[in-house]
């Protein structure tokens, strides 16, 4: 593993632990795996993945002191200039590290799921059709065999509305509003 990759993995780990530090202030950390944002695969699942690394005395329990120690370590790791403050550049570096981890995981899954010949790369045949191709007939509302810019915009608006409704429903379900 290259030094650059190791440094990136360290930054990603640090970024993930920083998120955990932010979660500790909610007072509901132990319950997040069941009811928290994102459901069982959300932040609570992330806590479970990191649990052993946070449980420094390996007693199978997380104390406030262990959580605070990790939160402090995360903050310190991102405080590049050591001034005790996170400026916009340091926060951006934190977000970029988190995004890089997510992107790397998604990319690896994509190759794993679609690489039919096992060469570690995706050919055009192994790639799925794009969203415009998958829903061509649905987007081409005037059935003229082409998608106009207006039809594409309408399709985007419909999808945005559906996504908003789904987010609203999930948020309401989280708080028991949709029962």
**What does R_g of the chain's alpha carbons equal in angstroms?**
22
pTM for this predicted structure:
0.43
> What is the rounded distance in angstroms from the CA atom of residue 73 to the CA atom of residue 50?
14
The three-class DSSP label of residue 165 is helix
For residue 108, is pLDDT > 70?
yes
Taking only the tens place, the pLDDT of each residue in 120-167 is 999 988 887 666 677 888 889 999 999 999 998 998 898 888 888 877
Query: Is 17 in contact with 70 (CB distance < 8 Å)?
Result: yes
pLDDT at 28: 33
Taking only the tens place, the pLDDT of each residue in 55-86 is 999 999 999 999 999 999 989 999 999 999 99
Using CA atoms, how far residue 93 sits from 58, 71, 85, 89, 128, in Å, is 31, 17, 14, 6, 32
More confident residue, 38 or 139: 139
For residue 33, is pLDDT > 60?
no
* Structure-block tokens of residue 17: 């632990």
Using CA atoms, how far residue 160 sits from 79, 155, 166, 168, in Å, is 37, 9, 10, 12
More confident residue, 50 or 107: 107
Residue 10 confidence class, pLDDT cut points 50, 70, 90: low
pLDDT at 13: 53
* Structure-block tokens of residue 141: 């509302």
The 10 Å Cβ neighbour count of residue 51 is 13
Calculate ∠ Cα 105-110-113, nearest 5°: 120
Q: What is the DSSP string of 18-50?
A: HHHHHHHTTS-GGGHHHHSTTGGGSHHHHHHHH
> What is the rounded distance in angstroms from the CA atom of residue 141 to the CA atom of residue 147?
8
Residue 96 confidence class, pLDDT cut points 50, 70, 90: very high
H-helix or E-strand spanning residue 52: helix 43-54
pLDDT at 126: 86
Residue % of the chain over a pLDDT of 90: 34
């Amino acid at each position: 593993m290259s030094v650059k990759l190791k440094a990136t993995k360290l930054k990603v780990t640090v970024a993930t632990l920083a998120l955990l530090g932010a979660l500790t202030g909610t007072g509901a950390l132990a319950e997040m795996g069941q009811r928290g944002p994102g459901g069982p695969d959300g932040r609570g699942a992330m806590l479970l993945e990191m649990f052993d690394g946070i449980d420094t005395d390996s007693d199978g329990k997380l104390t406030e002191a262990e959580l605070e120690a990790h939160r402090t370590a995360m903050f310190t790791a991102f405080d590049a200039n050591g001034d005790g403050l996170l400026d916009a550049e340091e926060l951006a570096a934190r977000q970029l590290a988190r995004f890089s981890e997510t992107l790397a995981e998604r990319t690896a899954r994509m190759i794993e799921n679609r690489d039919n010949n096992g060469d570690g790369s995706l050919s055009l045949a192994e790639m799925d059709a794009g969203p415009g191709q998958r829903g061509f007939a649905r987007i081409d509302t005037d059935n003229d065999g082409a998608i106009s810019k207006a039809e594409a915009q309408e399709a985007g608006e419909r999808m945005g509305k559906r996504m908003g409704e789904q987010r609203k429903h999930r948020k309401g379900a989280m708080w028991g509003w949709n029962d």
